[in-house]
Structure 1
Amino acid sequence: MTLKVLVVDDSSFFRRRVSEIINGDPRLEVVDCAVNGKEAIDKTVKLKPDVITMDIEMPVMDGITSVREIMRRQPTPILMFSSLTHEGAKATLDALDAGALDFLPKKFEDIACNRDEAVSLLQNRVKEIARKGIFLRRSPVLSPAKSTATTLEKPDSLKKRHSLTEKIKQSKTPVQRAPSVFKATGKRYQLLAIGTSTGGPVALQKVLSALPANFPLPIVLIQHMPATFTAAFATRLNGLCNITVKEAEDGEMIRPGSAYLAPGGLQMMIDGRPGSSRIKLVDGGERMNYKPCVDITFGSAAKTYGNGVLSIVMTGMGADGREGARMLKSAGSTVWAQDADSCVVYGMPQAVAKEGISTEDLPLSRIAERIKVELNLV
C-alpha cells in the first residue's frame, strides 16, 4: 500500500527536492504540495494524506499554527523541517508540543554524510511516523504536551505483536504487562537513567513533569537530538518540571532531584562512585551512529552503580540502548521499556523487550506513576 504524503514549504526548490526524495521510494507518493500553513490545512482536510512534511517559517500561516489546527481538524502524522539554530530549536519544540511527531534539520548535510544517506533517512522517517496515523484519526485529539500518542494496529502488525509476545513469554525474563495497581519491588536505587529518540521530547516531558520536587535520585537523560537543540530542550523541561533539568556539563557532580540531559554531538558517561559521581563528556566519535548514544551512558552507569540503576528505554527508532541495558541487567540493575501502543516508534523499546532484557512493559501514561511507586513516593 502506497503512503500518501503532503509536502508543505514556501520554497519551490525545497518542495521539489523533498518531493523527488519521497517519490524515489515505491512505497511513498507525494499527492500534492502546499506553500503555506493555511493551504496545508485545506489540502489535509481534502486529501487526507498519511503523512505531512512541514516547514516552520512560512507566510500567511506558520507551521506551528498549522500543525495545531491540523491536529484539531484532521489529525495526521507530521514531520517538521527546522533550522539548526537556537531559534529553530525552540520553534521545533513548539511544533512537537502542538502535535508534530518528529523533526529533521532542513539542511540535509547536517544529518547525513552523503546524499544517499540523507535520502534513506528521510524516506524511513516518513514511513515510520506514518504508522501512527490510524490512532491519530480514530482518537480524540488531546493536547500533545499533556498526553501521548497510542496506536491502533493493523491486522498484520497485530500478528507481529502476537509473535513477539510469544517469544517474550519464552525468554528467561518475561516482560510483564502493566497491572491495574503497581507494587514496589523493594529494590534500592541510586540513579534513574532514561534513553529516548523519535517521539522522545514529548514523552520525556510527560514523565519528568509528573515527578515531585523531592525526587530522591539523580537522573540522566539521553535523547537523540542535534547539539543546538539540547540546551533549548533542557531549558524547556526545567520550566515545566518540579525537578531541576539542565544540559549536562563536563565534570559536574550529579545530585538527587536533578536531571542531566546529554548534550547533542557528545557522549555522556558517569565517572566516580555512587554518591560522588560526576558527568564525563567525551567526543562523539566519527564511527558512532548516535551522538549522544544510550548504550554508552547506560554502560558507564552499569560500571559505576552496579545494581543500583533504574533504567527505562522509551520511544525511538533503531536499537540504541539494547547493549547498555544488557550491561545494566547483568550488573543486577532494573530495565523497563515503554510499550508498543504508546510509542511514536517502537524500535528501541522493542529491542530490549524481545531480547528479554526489560522486565516491565509500560504505557507512557503510567511510567511516572510506576517510578513513584517503585521509589515509595506515593
Structure 2
Amino acid sequence: MSAPIKVMIVDDSAVVRQVVRQTLANAPGIEVLGAAPDPLFALEHMRRQWPDVIVLDIEMPRMDGLTFLKKIMAERPTPVVICSTLTEKGAQATMDALAAGAVSIITKPKAGLKQFLEDAHSDLVGAIKAAARANVRKLIPSLPTIGADGVLKVPPKLTADAIISPGLGTGAGMIGTTEKIIAIGTSTGGTQALEAVLTRLPAVCPGIVVVQHMPEKFTALFAERLNSLCQIEVREAKHGDRVRPGLALIAPGGKHMLLSRSGAQYTVEVVDGPLVNRHRPSVDVLFRSCAKFAGKNVLGIIMTGMGDDGAKGLKEMADAGAHTVAQDEASCVVFGMPKEAIKLGGAKTVLPLERIPEAILAAARG
C-alpha cells in the first residue's frame, strides 16, 4: 500500500478546522498531520513533519495566506489547496494565490459553513488527491459526494450527450468559411498554463474559446487578470458573443459553453445544464460543439488537469478533421486529461507547454 497523503490544515475558523479534520479523517489514503489557526503556528508544526498537501485559508491573523503561500513556494514548494470564501474580496485574493502557485480552489460560503463543508466532502478529497500528484514546480479540480445524512451519493457521470448531440450540425458543412477557431480545455494547473500560452500570442490571432474548470465568480476575475497581461483581448463569455480574431472567451463558472455557427460566423452559447464529467463548464461539451460546427477549421488543445474531461471531445474533433494537440507529461502540473486524450487517440500531436503558442500561430497560417 502507498503511504497516506499527509495534510496540514491552516484556517483561522475553528469550525472549518474541526469539520475539515473530521471529513479527512474518514477519507482513505489521507492523514491529517495537524490543524493550525494561522501560518506561524502551522510553520512550527511543519518543521517537525512536512505535509504533502496544505489546505489554506487566505484571510488570517498575523500572516495572511497569500504571504504564507509565497514563502512556501520560494523555500520548499508544496501543493496548496486554497479554501476561500465566495466574496469578491476572497475571489480576488484566491486568483492572486493561483497566480502565486496554488494548485486549486475549494470555495466556502460565509453562512451555513459547517453544512457546506460536510456536503463538499468529495470535492475536498478530490482536490487534495489531485494536489498530491501535482508537479508544483511547473506552477512557478471530482469524486462522489456524501450527503448530510452520511450516505454516499454517487452522481451519474454524464457525457456531453446531456447538453449536445453528436454529429455534424444542420447546414454546418454547407457554407464555406476560412475562419479559424482555437479551442482549449484545461483544469488543475491550467490557470498558469493558460497565462503562459495566451501572453505569448500577438494581438491578431484566431478567435479562442476556453474551458478552465473553475467555480462561479472566479472566471470573470481570471479573465480580467489575463486581459491585463495579454496583447489579445480576454474576457468571460456571454451568450451570443461572436468568436473573432484577437479575442479569447473564457467559459463562465457554473455554465456550459458551446461553439455555434451562423452562416460563416462563429458565436458561443452559454447555457445551464447538468454536470458533464462532473464539471460545469465541461471541456467535452465545448469540444463536441467545435467538432460539430467547426470541423477542420478548429485547433483543439487539451492541457494540464485531473480526470478525463475533454478526452472524448478531442477525439471527436480529430475525427471531424481538426488538428488536435495534447500537452506533454513533462510540462503538465497534472497529466490526467492529456493522458486520457492520448490514450483514446484524440491527440494528433503532443507538445510541451512552451510550444503550444507556435501551434496556435501555425493554425492561423493554415
- Shorter-chain TM-score tier: 0.7 to 0.9
CA distance, structure 1, for counterparts of residue 111 and residue 346 of structure 2: 36
- Count residues in correspondence: 326
Residues 1:90 and 2:103 aligned together: no
CA distance, structure 1, for counterparts of residue 73 and residue 45 of structure 2: 13
1:219, 1:258 within 8 Å by CA — same for their partners in 2? yes
Change (3 A) 1:333 1:47: same
Select 2:34's aligned residue among 27, 32, 47: 32
CA distance, structure 2, for counterparts of residue 293 and residue 232 of structure 1: 19
Select 2:200's aligned residue among 210, 235, 247: 210
In the alignment, structure 1 segments of 5+ residues that lack a partner are 148-187
Residues 1:198 and 2:200 aligned together: no
2:58, 2:65 within 8 Å by CA — same for their partners in 1? yes
CA distance, structure 2, for counterparts of residue 352 and residue 270 of structure 1: 20
2:108, 2:117 within 8 Å by CA — same for their partners in 1? no
User: Which SS does the other structure have where 2:333 is aligned?
Assistant: coil
Structure 2 counterpart of 1:207, one-letter code: V
Alignment of structure 1 residues 111-190 onto 2, 5 Å: 118-132=120-134, 136=136, 144=139, 147=140, 190=180
Alignment of structure 1 residues 32-51 onto 2, 5 Å: 32-51=34-53
Structure 2 counterpart of 1:124, one-letter code: G
Aligned to 1:267: 256
Structure 2 counterpart of 1:312, one-letter code: I
In the alignment, structure 2 segments of 5+ residues that lack a partner are 141-177
Change (3 A) 1:374 1:297: closer
1:109, 1:118 within 8 Å by CA — same for their partners in 2? no
CA distance, structure 2, for counterparts of residue 108 and residue 49 of structure 1: 27
CA distance, structure 1, for counterparts of residue 354 and residue 111 of structure 2: 36
- The structural deviation recorded for 1:270 is 1.8
User: Which SS does the other structure have where 2:225 is aligned?
Assistant: helix
CA distance, structure 1, for counterparts of residue 349 and residue 9 of structure 2: 39
Aligned to 1:335: 324
User: Which SS does the other structure have where 2:73 is aligned?
Assistant: helix
CA distance, structure 1, for counterparts of residue 79 and residue 10 of structure 2: 13
1:274, 1:305 within 8 Å by CA — same for their partners in 2? no
2:11, 2:38 within 8 Å by CA — same for their partners in 1? yes
Change (3 A) 1:85 1:115: closer
User: Which SS does the other structure have where 2:42 is aligned?
Assistant: helix
Alignment of structure 1 residues 169-318 onto 2, 5 Å: 190-215=180-205, 217-273=206-262, 275-285=264-274, 289-318=278-307
Structure 1 counterpart of 2:194, one-letter code: L
2:315, 2:345 within 8 Å by CA — same for their partners in 1? no
CA distance, structure 2, for counterparts of residue 197 and residue 63 of structure 1: 22
1:79, 1:100 within 8 Å by CA — same for their partners in 2? yes
CA distance, structure 2, for counterparts of residue 240 and residue 331 of structure 1: 34
Structure 2 counterpart of 1:127, one-letter code: K
2:19, 2:117 within 8 Å by CA — same for their partners in 1? no
Change (3 A) 1:209 1:51: same
- Structure-2-length-normalised TM-score: 0.82
Q: CA RMSD in A?
A: 2.6
1:37, 1:66 within 8 Å by CA — same for their partners in 2? yes
Change (3 A) 1:371 1:346: same
Select 1:3's aligned residue among 5, 11, 30: 5
1:86, 1:232 within 8 Å by CA — same for their partners in 2? no
- Structure-1-length-normalised TM-score: 0.80
- The structural deviation recorded for 1:286 is 6.1
CA distance, structure 2, for counterparts of residue 201 and residue 209 of structure 1: 12
1:250, 1:280 within 8 Å by CA — same for their partners in 2? yes
User: Which SS does the other structure have where 2:291 is aligned?
Assistant: helix
Structure 2 counterpart of 1:190, one-letter code: K
